[in-house]
Structure 1
């Protein structure tokens, strides 16, 4: 069993810089692996959000990387 935290927790507003701590808490408390993100991030959404200061300030791009490894036709949809 794996717990998936919704993608909107990562890239929604307001930013949640404590998300890695929450992930660690859930894994520790329940002994289950946690994945941040439940679906890929559309490229046009990424293009818009990468320009926002909180994106780099909170290292969201690092946490979002696994959600960006999608085929190009999916990203541009």
Structure 2
């Protein structure tokens, strides 16, 4: 599998720039590698799908529909 990167940005009032960069790499030493700021986690494709479903369920149930800043970045976010 070729290595591919997908990046989105999110509001982050806790840091100086006010922006957090979230990057997912597919391929490489882990099938899926998630980076949020300085936090990193490698996972299998099944674990990544489970995270996707859990986040989708939790966020929709707790906060409603995705905010505009999130939906405008759903074009693949490839970097």
Greater fraction of residues in helix: 1
TM-score relative to the length of structure 1: 0.30
TM-score relative to the length of structure 2: 0.30
Greater fraction of residues in strand: 2
